[in-house]
Amino acid sequence: MSGNYRGLSAQTVALVTAGASGIGRTIAAALAAQGCRVHVCDISAEALASFRSDFPSATATLADVSNPADVERLFAELQRATGRLDVLVNNAGISGPTAPVESIGIADWDQTIAVDLSGHFYVTRLAVPMLKAAGGGSIVNISSNAGLYGCPLRSPYVAAKWALIGLTKTWAMELGPQRIRVNALCPGSVKGPRIDRVIDAAAQELGVSPAEVRQSYLDQSSLGLFVDAEDIAQMVLYLCSDLGASISGQALGIDGHTESLSTKS
């Protein structure tokens, strides 16, 4: 991938939240492959150690984005390590409960909103002064196709992902004059253990087999596929490079064209 995206170089500093594993790791690796200086945060010390082993030039912070004190410490460490910021990828998120609304506990609701929505706010409010000081930059919020459609049994997750698109458009308006672009990516189901857990939970709730739920998820998109994390990483690179210089305030689907998120036959 090196050299494919103009404007990304060794002078570019990128922060990826939840960047030591899963989709975040794939995004961080793609940015590093462009020569960018990458800083990641994650809640797993083990994942951070593995990431640092594979990317020794990267820097990292053990932090939970839903904890404002952790986020303050994250930015103090980022400032010491790099002194600047050009790219923010708000990737941290959890699946939340899979249950009808009347069965969702308040603690599960609060935790999902704290990570999937409030955490993005906590990080962005401290990232913006650094982006302004750098003369502009790019923020990419990882939303979901659930931020564009209703999704049965996923109330807190859907609420957070819809709200994140609203914030994306609002921040694009606020920050455009400072040459800061803000976009949201809306992946469909992404291959990997996280979607496997969601499918298993939905199958248990609906009283059907995981294979049936998996097929219903595949049937939700016109292309009948699950997304690869690399597809998301490539779009992040595009948006954060000079190629995406005129793109802001957008919610971009990477989902094979979702037709519905209903699991009804």
Widest distance between CA atoms in the chain = 54
239 vs 182: CA distance, rounded Å? 9
Q: Catalytic residue, from 5, 122, 157, 217: name it.
A: 157
Cα R_g (the chain), whole angstroms: 18
The residues near 212 (Cβ < 8 Å, ≥ 6 apart) are 203
Is residue 145 a contact partner of residue 192, using CB atoms and an 8 Å limit? Answer: no
What does the CA dihedral 132, 133, 135, 141 come to, rounded to 10 degrees? Answer: -40
DSSP secondary structure string for all residues of 89-128 = EE--------S-GGG--HHHHHHHHIIIIIHHHHHHHHHH
Residue 166: CA count within 13 A, CB half-sphere: 7
The residues near 8 (Cβ < 8 Å, ≥ 6 apart) are 31, 34, 35, 36, 237, 240, 241
Known catalytic membership, residue 157: yes
Catalytic residues: 157
